[in-house]
Amino acid sequence: MGSNPVQLVALGAAAMIAVLGLVLLIRRHPRWGIALWTVALFFTPVWLGAGAMGVFVSALTAMTVIAIISGISPNLRWSNVDTLVLILFLVILLAFAIGGSITGHVQDAVVMWFLPYVWGRMVLARVDEGWVAACLATAAVAAAVLGIVEFVTSENFFLRIPGASSSIWGVLQVRGGFLRVEGAFGHSIALGGVLAMSAAFVLVVRWRPWVRAVALVVVGAATVLTFSRLGIIGFALTLVLGVVFLGVYVGRGLRITVLGFLVAGAIAVTPVILDVFGDAGSEAEGSANYRLDLLGLTNSMVVLGISPDREVLPTGEDYWAGFRSIDSALILIGLRFGMLPLAVVLVLLAVLIGSVVIGRATPASVALAAQIPAFATVALITQYAAFVWFAAGLAVSAYALRYGRDAADLAAAAALTETPPRVGERRLSTGAGR
């Protein structure tokens, strides 16, 4: 069918009409933008998409572009973090132009890093924080329930979507004799990371406290069933940081309850986790030792460009000084683009940590800060990469609205008009006491 020119034109026209319809819908009803994007993030695998002229566009990438086009707003204000992200983008382009970095690596950075970041920066110009948290929390709970069903039934229905069999992400994993759930994310680590980050939004969403507590239990259970050490640690760290630093969003009673649930859950789940990893034996130990061995690759990084230790097999697979997989986002950035881009990323992480510890945290910045150990020990794969960078953009926007110049402007406008912003307008929102 795809070889028929008339059918190709018809399919292209239908796609353009569908895109235009979505753009007009989101322009008129901005909340649909984040709602549809969240569905694409949590429930469309990376192999679901279409190719044109040798370029594959996933459903998530297509939805990100549509959301950006639909969400363009004059209300955005440039920030210092935007400057750092722009510098990162420019040095990556230089790594490609003069340092020999690979086209595919640069394309991945544009599609899975910078586009989601731009969307995260734009979203709060059209909708409020509460709606974004509601979309992410609802999707996380739904994905967690599907993960639990996947564990119980030992079947992932996302693998029935066409393209799974030819994707490197289309294979289920097992650890210690137990299925590692992965949902639509193609890998248990990716699902664990996303659920762990989502816990920050479940914590602050405007639901009744008992509903939020139950939702966190469900999300936590699914995170445990990924049997990803970093996912489990990230979930616990997200809640700890949320309890400590998100007091402006969350009432004291709920924070105390969550902390109690976390302690009780750790006591109940730790023996099971230890048994699973004990049964996994050399596999789990080898995985941990392998990550330590990756540190030696820092010696092969250059200032700008791809590491000379990269080898390409006749099958097209990348090897880095004998390592097939690089389970460290930070090391992989240095190997692909050089030490200069890596330094910019480290500066961004330092800014993130600083914003949290000085008491100006947002749910997105807490979600990201809790993932810093993971950035050092896992790669940014599948939708996990997009969520990390979307959260980065969202953290910058939320910071500006709550603590930055945008907050001062909103306070001044409210004082002049004595009229609170309407739903859907840019405003400060808090779940404290709810």
Residue 254 has pLDDT above 90, yes or no: no
Confidence of residue 278 (pLDDT cuts 50, 70, 90): low
252 three-class SS: helix
pLDDT of amino acid 327: 87
State the average pLDDT over residues 382-400: 96
Continuous H helices in 252-319: 252-280, 282-293
Report the Cα–Cα distance between both ends of the chain, in Å, rounded. 55
Q: What is the mean pLDDT of the chain?
A: 86
- Scan for tokens 């050092």, then name that residue: 376
Q: Which of the pair, 268 or 94, is modelled with greater confidence?
A: 94
Confidence check: pLDDT of 212 > 90 = yes
| Kind plus residue range of the DSSP H or E element containing 245 | helix 229-245
Unique residue bearing structure tokens 């795809």? 2
**Which residues of 11-63 form beta strands (DSSP E)?**
49-52, 55-58
Q: What is the pLDDT of residues 69-85, one digit of tens each?
A: 998 876 788 999 999 99
Instruction: Give DSSP secondary structure letters for 364-421.
Output: HHHHHHTTHHHHHHS---HHHHHHHHHHHHHHHHHHHHHTSHHHHHHHHHHHHH--PP
Structure confidence at residue 10 (pLDDT): 78
| CA distance linking residue 65 with residue 82, whole number of Å | 19
Distance, in Å, from the CA atom of 129 to the CA atom of 328, rounded to the nearest integer, reads 31
DSSP structure class, residue 310: E
Helix (H, G, I), strand (E, B) or coil at 281: coil
